[in-house]
Amino acid sequence: MDLSTGRFASDIPAILQRVLLGRGVASEAELDHRLATLHSPLAMRGLETAVTLLAEAVRAQRKILIVGDFDADGATSSTLAVLALGAMGAPGVEFLVPNRFDFGYGLTPEIVEVAKESAPDVLVTVDNGISSIDGVAAAKAAGMTVIVTDHHLPGSELPAADAIVNPNQPDCNFPSKNLAGVGVIFYLLSRLRSALQESGWFEQSGIAAPNMAEYLDLVALGTVADLVPLDHNNRILVHQGIARIRAGRCRPGIAALLEVAGRNQRKLSTTDIGFILGPRINAAGRLDDIGTGIRCLLTRDPTEARELAAELDGLNRDRKAIEQGMQREALAALEKVQLEGEIPWSLCLYDENWHQGVVGILASRIKEKFHRPVIAFAEGDSISTEGLIKGSARSIPGLHIRDALSDVAAAHPDLIAKYGGHAMAAGLSLQRENFPAFVDAFEMAVRNRLHESQLQAVIDSDGELEPADFSMQTAAALRACAPWGQAFPEPVFDGEFLLLQQRIVGERHLKMVVAPAQNPQLALDAIAFNIDTDTWPQQADRVHLAYKLDINEFRGRESLQLMVSYLQAI
């Protein structure tokens, strides 16, 4: 491939060009995953100020405290900051993550009180802080230098921090607005490393300047787990991080998490990060204390890493059991709504017995089933105003859910106590007695922003494959364009097939042998996971499939396989 021409070379298969053009990739330059092609940090507003403050803190041996968030992005951000600052010579860097059940989200005045116990000179937020007006003020009043690093959308007012680094803040010209929190702190610390090296700090101190690429495994994990769009810049970060993990050059904790889940580290994909690594890290923050996840990522001891990974794996199993119970209750409640008439355009659910740490996953599951924007609520944390409930929101394509919440707040200023988030996910809190009024107000906001046609789930297809495209070469070429992920989806094709064989494997997986309708002699293996066993297997000779072209590896043998995401008898 010629990465300098700014166009596709003639040897790029037509099907691959079609796939890439459908994702806005118009040239091979956007397939260049070298670190040298990352956007420069110099366009990031506030970054140079933050670098100056941190460089002064390192040289003066001041105490630095990292305040993170309680999810995988926050955990990887906190880990990266502690490790990299320590490697640059900062003494005794510590982390503090608010327990979501005791302190809520972000840098609050209450968490500042806890922070004061360790008497930091500099407080750095990672993956939070852009909305922490009162918390930053409290930290400043306590004499701390405050540096906010975040990627969430800011409100109308910014905190009075000494420096703010966030590509989404006003007047920031950094080209990629899609960095995760871990990406933001990686950029900041990479520039800090360069500044300290330019000043002669490492030579004077007798320490080796850290290689920032060594932290890209953490960047890849946090970026994929946080579901930020994989624009070209993020794809570079994720590609490089995955390459390090596959090569065995990753944190012992990441290797241990893959081991406990039975995944092959050398074959790691973004799917493994999203469905294997991310949930196990997140389980600690959802049910207990994200500190367990951070310690798993921090440790250099493989034995300790395996012990912590096993603990996280157990928490993830507990989380699944809690979630399944909540989902049964939610579906029972929604079944009554269906019996009473038309399903609303939005679904707001609340149960006083639901687990606050799991409502986000519940909202995602209900959204997938009903294709509606969903907000699931549980009782608030222990320090909140009496009667406060907290909601986790998940959206569908076409609805910017944070903007919908802004509509509600503008029309009903006293209805929502607090809210924030992204286009597809958000969080909020409100008084319990306001819940019925909020349900109506949110429904109105959603109806004002959506068209009825958008309430129908759509599978975006890259079209049909020609018989010649059903090959290991095509599958390998598609795999080579990874990483696939949020806003850069793995290719999905569709078409009519002859159904030659079908049987259930495992509990709910349909194993099939199919052949393209236009080439009945070409028998292909196919599998559909978690199908409705009341419907399949069934008497059918032809099916319409939506599928991914995959390479199945079994006992050292590779074969072509269709990973079916939708099937319908014809």
Structure tokens at 536: 């399949």
**How many Cβ atoms sit within 10 Å of the Cβ of residue 445?**
25
- Residue 278: what are its φ and ψ, rounded to 5°? -55, -50
Q: Please list, in sequence order, all residues whose beta carbon lies within 8 angstroms of the beta carbon of residue 206, skipping any fewer than 6 positions away.
A: none
Cis check: omega of the bond before 483, within 30 degrees of 0: yes
* Helix, strand counts (H, E) of the chain: 19, 15
Helix, coil or strand: residue 227? coil
- 350 with 362: CB under 8 angstroms? no
Distance, in Å, from the CA atom of 226 to the CA atom of 239, rounded to the nearest integer, reads 16
- 98 with 105: CB under 8 angstroms? yes
Helix (H) or strand (E) holding 548: strand 542-554
With the C-alpha atoms ordered 250, 280, 77, 24, is the resulting torsion angle positive or negative? positive
Count how many Cα atoms sit within 13 Å of the Cα of residue 527 in the half-sphere of its side chain: 14
Domains of the chain: 1-30 (no CATH), 41-212 (3.90.1640.30), 342-455 (3.10.310.30), 467-569 (2.40.50.460)
- 499 with 246: CB under 8 angstroms? no
pLDDT in 10s for each residue of the chain, 570 residues = 343 344 666 677 889 999 999 999 988 888 899 999 999 999 999 999 999 999 999 999 999 999 999 899 999 999 999 999 999 999 999 999 877 666 667 899 999 999 999 999 999 999 999 999 999 999 999 999 999 999 998 988 999 999 999 999 999 999 999 999 999 999 999 999 999 999 999 999 999 999 999 999 999 999 999 989 999 999 999 999 999 999 999 999 999 999 999 999 999 999 999 999 999 999 998 887 899 999 999 999 999 999 999 999 999 999 999 999 999 999 988 887 765 667 899 999 999 999 988 999 999 999 999 999 999 999 886 554 578 999 999 999 999 999 999 999 999 999 999 888 778 888 999 999 999 999 999 999 999 999 999 999 889 999 999 989 999 999 999 998 899 998 999 999 999 999 999 999 988 899 999 999 999 999 999 999 988 888 999 999 999 999 999 998 877 789 999 999 999 999
Pairing of the two strands 388-394 and 374-379? antiparallel
Structure tokens at 373: 């924007």
